[in-house]
Amino acid sequence: MSSFIETINGYLWGLPMIAFLFLTHILMSVRTGFIQRKVFKGIRLSLGKDKSTKDGISPFSALATTLASTLGTGNIIGVSTAVALGGAGAVFWCWLTGLLGMATQYCECVLSVRFREKDSKGEYQGGPMYVLKNGVGSKALGRVYASLAAVAGLITGAAIQTNAIKETVLESVISRNKEFDDPSVISLCAGTVVAVLTALVIFGGLKSVATVCSMVVPFMAVAYTLGCLLILLINREMVCESFVLIIKDAFSLKSATGGFMGSALMLSCRYGVSRGLFSNEAGIGTSSVICANANTDSPAKQGLISMTATFWDTVVMCLITGLAVVSTGLCCDVSDTQGAMLCMTAFSRIPYVGKGVLVFSMIAFAFSTILGWSAIGEKFIVFLLGEKAAKPYRAFWVMTIFISSFVSLEGIWALGDLINGILVVPNVAGLLLLSGKVRDITRSEKGIGA
C-alpha cells in the first residue's frame, strides 16, 4: 500500500502540482499587491487587542491556535525527511513555498472571515467549506472538501503526531537503557497520557484549546528556535557553505554522489514543496478555519495576522531547521543517517542538553498540533453533521490518539501527502474564483491595501 501511494504521489506531486501551487502563490501575491511586505504590520496586529465584537476568540489566540496546528512534526521530521530524500536543495523550495504561500494564507483567511456564519450559539463557523458554500455557491463542493479534510485531520493531526510522541519517548528510553525490550509499555503510557491530557483540553471547546495554545506555543517555539540557533553557532564555519549548497542543490539537474546531499532538481523541488505545504498548509486552507473564529470585524487585518503563521512556521523555523541539518551534514558523516535522525544528529552537537531540547520540542510540537487540529477537525464535522456531532467527534479524536500509539504508521506520511494534494484542488479553485473579492477587500482597508 505504501508503495502504491508513493507511486500516486510521484504523479500528484510532479511538475503539474508544483507549477499549480507556485502559480497560485504568485497570482495571490500579485492580486494582493505582494501582501508579504506587510508581515511586520501583521506581527504588530497579532500582539494587539481587537474589541470590535464580543464573539469568538482574540486575534492572538486565533494565531496561536493556527500555529499550534501547523508547528508540528513537519517542522522537524518533515524538514529532515525532505533533506534526506530530496537533498539540501529541498530546504530552498520549502522556504520559497512559505514565502510565496504567505499571500495565499492571507487570501484564505480573508475569505474565511468574509463568508463565515454564526451557529445557534452565536459562535462563528468558517473555513474553505463555507467559502465554497457561500462564496462560490456550491455546498456540495464544500461538503467534499470538509469530508476529505476531516480524514486528513485524523491522519496528520492525530495519528502522525501521537506516533511521533511515542517514538520520541521510546527512542529516549532506549538510548538511556539499552536492555529495554518492551515497546508496548511505552505505547500504553504515551497513548494514555496524551489521550487524557487532550481530553481535558478539547472537551472545554475552542476557547479552552485557544487558551492552552496561547500559553504553550510561544514557549515551545522560542525553546526550539534557540536550540537551532545554538547549533548554527557551533557549526558557524559551515553556515555560509550550507547556504551555498542549498541554493546550488536546489537547481542541480543531476544527482551528486554520496550521502544525503545529492539530489536532482525535480526530487528536490517535490519534497521541498510538499513538506513546506505540510508544514504551513497554505494552499490546503485548513488553517483558515480557526482565523474565522477571531474576534474581529476586519477580514484584511485578520488576514495579515494569519499570514504571520506561515512566516514563523516555514519562512523562519523550517529554514533554521534545514540550515541546522545541512550544516551538521557538512561537519559530520551522516551518510547512514535517515529522516528524523538527521535532526537528532544535529541537536547532538549541543553538549549535555541537545537531545533533551529536541525531545521536549518534538513532544510539545506534536501535542500542540493535536490540540490545534482537534479544533479544526471539529469544524469540518459540524459543517457535515451539525452541532450535535461535536462532542462525539471529540471522543472519537481521543480514541484515535490512544489507538495510534500502538499502530505502526509506516507510509502514513505518504498518505498525508496524498490527501493534502487532493485538498489543494477545491481550495485553490475557490481562491481563484474569488481572488477579485480579496483584492477589493484589501484595497478598501485603510493602511493595508497597495
How far is the C-alpha of 207 from the C-alpha of 214, rounded, in Å? 10
pLDDT digits (tens, 9 = 90+) for 245-254: 888 887 776 5
DSSP element (H, E) containing 117: strand 117-118
pLDDT at 233 (0 to 100): 92
Q: Using an 8 Å Cβ cutoff, are 78 and 259 in contact?
A: no
Alpha helices in 32-88 (DSSP H): 39-46, 59-70, 77-86
pLDDT in tens, 57-69: 677 777 777 777 7
120 conformational bin, left if phi > 0, alpha if psi -120 to 50, beta if neither: alpha
Q: How do residues 219-243 score in pLDDT, each as one tens digit?
A: 888 888 899 899 999 988 888 998 8
Do 326 and 242 meet the contact criterion of CB atoms below 8 Å apart? yes
* Contact indicator for 381, 393 with CB cutoff of 8 Å: yes
Q: What is the β-pairing status of strands 117-118 and 124-125?
A: antiparallel
Strand partners, 117: 125
Q: If you average pLDDT over residues 256-268, what whole number do you get?
A: 52
Helix (H) or strand (E) holding 317: none
State residue 254's pLDDT score: 58
- Secondary structure of residue 294 in the 3-state scheme: strand
For the chain, give the percent of residues with pLDDT over 70: 85
Give CA–CA dist 383/126, Å, rounded.
9
> Residue 445 burial by CB count (10 A; 0-12/13-18/19+): exposed, middle or buried?
middle
Please check the confidence at residue 449 and state whether its pLDDT lies above 70: no
Q: What's the confidence (pLDDT) of residue 68?
A: 72
- Model confidence pLDDT, tens digit, residues 334-391: 666 666 677 778 888 888 888 888 888 888 888 888 888 888 888 999 999 988 888 8
Mean of the per-residue pLDDT values for the chain?
81
> Which pTM was predicted?
0.84
3-state helix, strand, coil in the chain (%, to 5): 75, 0, 20
pLDDT of residue 279: 65
Asked whether the beta carbons of 275 and 414 are under 8 A apart, the reply is: no
Rounded to an integer, what is the distance from CA 113 to the centroid of its chain? 20
Q: Which of 48-57, 103-112, 173-182, 242-251 has the highest mean pLDDT?
A: 103-112
Tell whether the model's pLDDT for residue 446 goes beyond 70: no
At 152, list the grid cell: 486528513
pLDDT at 256 over 60: no
In the chain, how long is the greatest CA-to-CA distance? Answer: 66
pLDDT higher than threshold 90 for residue 129 = yes
What's the grid cell of residue 165? 510522541
pLDDT-based confidence at residue 259 (cuts at 50, 70, 90):
very low
Grid cell of 156 as nine digits: 496528520
**Structure confidence by residue, pLDDT tens digits, 405-431:** 887 666 676 777 788 778 888 998 899
* Gap between the Cα atoms of 112 and 72, Å rounded: 23
Sign of CA dihedral 23, 77, 165, 233: negative
